[in-house]
Structure 1
Amino acid sequence: MKYNFDEVIDRRNTSCVKFDAVSERLGRNDFIPLWVADMDFLSPPCVIEALKKRVEHGIFGYTFPSPEYYRSIIDWLKKRHHLTVKKEYLTFVPGIVKGIAFAIDEFTEKGDKVIIQPPVYHPFRIVTEGLERQVVNNPLALENGRYRMDIDGLKKAVAENDCKVLILCNPHNPGGRIWSSEELAIIAEICYDKDILVISDEIHADLALPGYHHTPFVSVSEKAAQNSITFMAPSKTFNIAGIVSSFAVIPNIDIRKRYVGYLEKRELNQGDLFAYTAAQAAYEGGEEWLDELLKYIKGNIDFVSDFLATHIPQIKPMVPEASFLVWLDCRGLELSQKELVSLFRDKAHLVLNDGTMFGKEGEGFMRMNVGSPRAIIEKALINLKNAVNE
């Protein structure tokens, strides 16, 4: 490989949530952190060089998104996802979770109902409840170690509740599923006919692993395009989560006017110069780096799968189709969730995400971030093997 993903870089004492917040929250710092969803790899050289060049200019005044910034997004979506968008479809948002919150705030009222599909990224629930809306759960079905959408359950939930929004996780976090165009088209049909706005979180879109291809929700049908807000970002893809550079794709002019109007009234659609610089550089020059990263991540996932099958067969990984997150089915250990968390944290000295964070459907599971050098992953698994054996 041209890029060295085996390099171990010390991230401690950089105000890094993944490392530095652990000791603050847990009172110890003897953990291998495999939780927060960013990676331990250097960002692409093209991003680092673009930021250096901008810093060396030395003046950091007011800024705006350049035509080249928009063109980099448009070209990237066309090349990587076969998605054709116009400049006017795009707007900067200061983070995808914030963007989802803004959409809920604008398109629903207090007490309105919002559908989520657990186990799923926990801010969907937290933001909805925080804005005093009601969560309607449409749990995913787990079959043969893989999630599928419960379409019959969705139809029942829609029939029994006056729902205003469905928040879609595409690709799915924590399960790593890339939803098929057929599944997405059914969602689009149901929600369009019932006037339920689809908010599609596609932050892991670019992280489809070798052999898989992400399908943007907006691309599956005209009903999907005309009844959705899609959120994307280079943050997970190029490991620049600390540089907030998300954007929304909104083809429907009426939805777009309302959403952009909400942002403009609060000056929420104005990014900083580093966000624009980093995003443009990543999309223009980061493809080779990304392709190598995905091969390395796939190698890490294979390593985890082989190690667990050989040494801890009670734990079965749900092999993801996208992202650097692995959903571990630990039910074979026959532990309570409290005992399971303690096994990882207190005995193996690992910090993973507790599966119940993603809903009660996550009981018996843990989420593992494998976006680290393989030596770190190996050490973590050895710790876990020893803890289980003890």
Structure 2
Amino acid sequence: MKYDFNKIIERKKTDSIKWNFNKNEFNAEDILPMWVADMDFPCPEPVAEAIKKRAEHTVFGYPIELDSCYEAVIEKVKRDYRWKIEKDWIVFCDGVVGGLYASVKAFAQKGEEVIIQEPVFHHFRSAIEDNNCYVKNNELSFDGENYTMNYEDLKNYFHDSKTLMGNHAKMMILSSPHNPVGRVWSKDELMKLGEICLENNCVIISDEIHCDVVFKRSQHTTFASISEEFANHSVTFIAPGKTFNISGLGEAVAIIPNKDMRDKFIAARGAVGSGNVFGKVALEAAYIDGEEYLLQLKEYLEDNLNYFINHIEKKIPKLKVIRPEGTFLVWVDMRELGLNNHELNEFLVKEAKVKFNDGAIFGRAGEGFQRINIGCPRIYIKEALIRLEMALRNRSLL
């Protein structure tokens, strides 16, 4: 079927964090929200139909994962990422963030360091610190145009026999594709990273929740698919939530080939659930019958991206878009406006009447940047850019 991603769907009365935040936080309803990473599109029709059919049963007791749910994951990973996995490797979770918390608990001792690559999804840091561990920031290198991994910094860290906190980290959390900068790491980049970590007995926790939304010139490589050694020293997280806009159903998958690591993860997860009955139904339907939706979605998102970039280059040249290779999130450098981080956020909300993600939440390297969600009907993007342009003109900042 043909999906109409231009269609406006009212979300203000649906208990939406994205759309209700304005009223709760700013006591205003005229602010256009383009921040939290959910899209303003309906989910695929097969997913909606599967949920409706299950709802007709009217009994919603504790669910289990049926063989068909495992098979859907196995087939999806094989089809899309050329990685043959086994049923026993799969652990269902109620979300990737919960899985990250369980991973830190499982693979890092209290007081140890865990490596991340900022600017990065802020829950990486919270998962580490809330488990009484410390962040080691292997900050991405930025040349003003592109972000790359800083391998030398990582090597130097490992080569130091002692760190301030003791022995070097035994765990790293990888964002792949990277949120918020939009990099889709190449196989060569991942191999180089993996070899450094393996040499130093450091496991990789690979958050690949955005792996399905990759643009035409790029190709996602699942870290664990590169080699058996990588697979046996890693945990891979995937989920249908971002791809098919069903994050509210709370269903994710951890793929853990190493049995010892898998057992530790399950023990660390403890009594935390493995998702809900509707999440399981939705995951299965999305992974089996969501391909047509995904193809149309990526085409629409790439058109949104091109429109967004073209408008900024022509009308708001002081802003610099770091063109993403994947995700529906765009990382924008606003430092040339000359506003400090607080002033920038105040200006956007109070004068431009738009709500983006403050880049500083992703780490100090994000100060002066904003993360903007383009997973919405194009009219929202047009309106946001008009508001932004007018507010900048009113401030004589263009």
Indicate whether the TM-score tops 0.5.
yes
> Could you tell me which of 173, 178, 192 is aligned with 1:167?
173
Segment of structure 1 superposing worse, 291-300 or 179-188: 179-188
Identify the residue that residue 11 of structure 2 maps to in structure 1. Answer: 11
> Could you tell me which of 235, 244, 248 is aligned with 1:238?
244
Structure 2 CA distance for aligned equivalents of residues 242 and 55 of structure 1:
16
> Could you tell me which of 302, 305, 313 is aligned with 1:301?
305
Structure 1 CA distance for aligned equivalents of residues 95 and 61 of structure 2:
22
Identify the residue that residue 103 of structure 2 maps to in structure 1. Answer: 103
1:346 equivalent in alignment to 2:359: no
Deviation string for 1:62-86 (max 9, x for gaps)? 3211111111111111111111111
Structure 2 CA distance for aligned equivalents of residues 230 and 25 of structure 1:
35
1:267 equivalent in alignment to 2:271: yes
Identify the residue that residue 228 of structure 1 maps to in structure 2. Answer: 234
SS in 2 for 1:307: helix
- Map 1:321-340; keep pairs closer than 5 Å: 321-340=325-344
Structure 2 CA distance for aligned equivalents of residues 302 and 213 of structure 1:
19
1:90 equivalent in alignment to 2:99: no
Matched-pair contact (CA < 8 Å) for 2:95–2:275: no
> Could you tell me which of 374, 380, 383 is aligned with 2:378?
374
Structure 2 CA distance for aligned equivalents of residues 356 and 24 of structure 1:
22
Matched-pair contact (CA < 8 Å) for 2:249–2:276: no
Give the Å deviation of 1:219. Answer: 1.2
1:150 equivalent in alignment to 2:150: yes
Matched-pair contact (CA < 8 Å) for 1:343–1:388: no
Identify the residue that residue 215 of structure 2 maps to in structure 1. Answer: 209
Matched-pair contact (CA < 8 Å) for 2:233–2:258: yes
AA matched with 1:346: K
Give the Å deviation of 1:388. Answer: 0.8
Identify the residue that residue 34 of structure 1 maps to in structure 2. Answer: 34
AA matched with 1:169: S
AA matched with 1:216: T
- Map 1:5-154; keep pairs closer than 5 Å: 5-154=5-154
Identify the residue that residue 388 of structure 1 maps to in structure 2. Answer: 392
Identify the residue that residue 256 of structure 2 maps to in structure 1. Answer: 250
Matched-pair contact (CA < 8 Å) for 1:121–1:358: yes
Structure 2 CA distance for aligned equivalents of residues 256 and 323 of structure 1:
28
Segment of structure 1 superposing worse, 345-354 or 335-344: 335-344
Structure 2 CA distance for aligned equivalents of residues 55 and 269 of structure 1:
20
Structure 1 length-normalised TM: 0.97
Matched-pair contact (CA < 8 Å) for 1:176–1:323: yes
Deviation string for 1:142-188 (max 9, x for gaps)? 12411000000111122333112111000000000001111111111
Structure 2 CA distance for aligned equivalents of residues 270 and 149 of structure 1:
33
AA matched with 1:255: M
Give the Å deviation of 1:269. Answer: 5.0
Structure 2 CA distance for aligned equivalents of residues 388 and 157 of structure 1:
43
AA matched with 2:30: D
Identify the residue that residue 362 of structure 2 maps to in structure 1. Answer: 358
SS in 2 for 1:212: coil
Structure 2 length-normalised TM: 0.95
Give the Å deviation of 1:223. Answer: 2.4
Q: Percent identity?
A: 40
Structure 1 CA distance for aligned equivalents of residues 326 and 231 of structure 2:
23
Give the Å deviation of 1:192. Answer: 1.4
Give the Å deviation of 1:343. Answer: 2.1
Matched-pair contact (CA < 8 Å) for 2:251–2:274: no
Structure 2 CA distance for aligned equivalents of residues 46 and 108 of structure 1:
40
Matched-pair contact (CA < 8 Å) for 2:304–2:378: yes
SS in 2 for 1:254: helix
Structure 2 CA distance for aligned equivalents of residues 15 and 234 of structure 1:
21
Segment of structure 1 superposing worse, 6-15 or 253-262: 253-262
Segments of 5+ residues of structure 1 without an aligned counterpart are none
